Amino acid sequence: MRSVVAIGLLSFLIAVWAQTGNGRAEQALAEAELNERGKFSNPIGDLDKGGLDVRVPFMLRRLGTYFRSSEGAPERVPNDGSLLRANATDTTPTITWVGHSTFVVQIGGVTFLTDPIWSNTPSPVPAFGPRRFVPPGIAIEDLPTIDFVTISHNHYDHLDLPTLRTLAARDPSTVFFVPEGNARLLRSAGISNVTELNWGQRVEQGAVTVHCLPTQHWSKRSLTDTNASLWASWAVIGADHRFYHAGDTGYFPGFKAIGKRLGPFDLAAIPIGAYRPRAMMKSSHVNPEEAVAAALDLRAEAAVAMHFGTFDLSDEALNEPPKRFLQAAKDQGLGEENAWVLKIGETRQF
């Protein structure tokens, strides 16, 4: 009798514990809301972007951007797109690094692009913008038919209107998925096939489901629009394969919640660069060690590195992020073979 009571009590406690866990995960994936000032925010509130003592010297160093050597930038293997075009209706999943956070991904006969940028300078004033060290790995005209595009947020290195206009003109049926508050910008640029989603929302798109998910980041495109539009990560889930793209993000509890609800992922694209100076970047950009921790939280079998070596955005040496990423994968148990550092233009199956 006593053991029956004990088992009953134990199952009750386990049920309560599981409920609390699920509740926490649901909370972490809840929709983001505009506050009374018309701004979105992160669950932890305003991000710490460092004091003026860190930011002013950083901005001054950025002015010297044209004199920085491209030594240590990623290798590039030109890709003529023929393999990707041949694979467009096949079910073999592939990923191709175009540079920065831009990938061509193929899952279940669907081809999509992440944060596509083909421009040389991600900036409202190109003459003063950060330089591109390595040209894109594949030309836009060599791409297979693009079913859809995911955009993580409106920073110029992720939302590149000239590229988006070219893609929309190339194929009007390409769908552009953006986080809430970004559709207006695309429509004002003449791009009409836009679907706006909030965190936790999803859409069936051909053979895959596209999930809009949180990140810990922010948005800004002009002097007055800080956080007026939302930022996001995306999961694309097919019948046999699951892919995740983290956009830009600091390390946050959302990774565990996403891994719990939608993992395990076959492949997760995680940013590993733009982390120095740390006092300014930590809340909104993971470093390579945090990138590996995020991949483990997401229950990703493999993590592919992005957001490094392409544009001159921050203080770390160009070849530091991939070195630290591989070392961290070894140290934290992801395994070096599961930490992918692609060449720009390289295609890999997953």
Q: What whole-number distance in Å separates Cα of residue 84 and Cα of residue 175?
A: 19
Least distance (Å) between residue 100 CB and Zn ion = 8
Cis peptide before 74 (omega within 30 of 0): no
Least distance (Å) between residue 17 CB and Zn ion = 36
**What residues from 143 to 162 belong to the interface with Zn ion (CB under 5 A)?**
155, 157
> Of the two residues 299 and 307, which places its CB atom closer to Zn ion in the complex?
307
Using CB atoms within 10 A of its CB, is residue 137 exposed (0-12), middle (13-18) or buried (19+)?
buried
> Of the two residues 155 and 242, which places its CB atom closer to Zn ion in the complex?
155
316 binds Zn ion (CB under 5 A): no
Least distance (Å) between residue 25 CB and Zn ion = 25
> Of the two residues 159 and 167, which places its CB atom closer to Zn ion in the complex?
159
Least distance (Å) between residue 226 CB and Zn ion = 12
CA angle, 30 then 32 then 34, to 5°? 150
Cis peptide before 130 (omega within 30 of 0): no
> Of the two residues 224 and 349, which places its CB atom closer to Zn ion in the complex?
224
> Of the two residues 156 and 350, which places its CB atom closer to Zn ion in the complex?
156
Question: Which of residues 160, 248, 266, 297 is near Zn ion by CB under 5 A?
Answer: 248
Least distance (Å) between residue 155 CB and Zn ion = 4
Ramachandran area for residue 270 (φ above 0: left; ψ -120 to 50: alpha; else beta): beta
Size of the site for Zn ion (CB under 5 A): 3
CA distances from 244 to 131, 134, 174, 260 (A): 28, 24, 20, 13
Rg (CA), the chain: 20
Least distance (Å) between residue 107 CB and Zn ion = 24
Task: Give just the sign of the alpha carbon dihedral 153, 289, 316, 94.
Answer: negative
**What residues from 50 to 109 belong to the interface with Zn ion (CB under 5 A)?**
none
> Of the two residues 157 and 180, which places its CB atom closer to Zn ion in the complex?
157
> Of the two residues 79 and 233, which places its CB atom closer to Zn ion in the complex?
233
Q: What whole-number distance in Å separates Cα of residue 176 and Cα of residue 241?
A: 21
- Could you tell me if 310 and 342 are in contact, meaning their C-beta atoms sit under 8 angstroms apart? no
Least distance (Å) between residue 154 CB and Zn ion = 8
Contact region for Zn ion (CB under 5 A) — 89-97, 220-228, 242-250, 254-262? 242-250
Report the SS3 class of residue 249: coil
> Of the two residues 230 and 237, which places its CB atom closer to Zn ion in the complex?
230
Ramachandran area for residue 61 (φ above 0: left; ψ -120 to 50: alpha; else beta): alpha
Least distance (Å) between residue 307 CB and Zn ion = 6
Binding site for Zn ion (CB under 5 A): 155, 157, 248
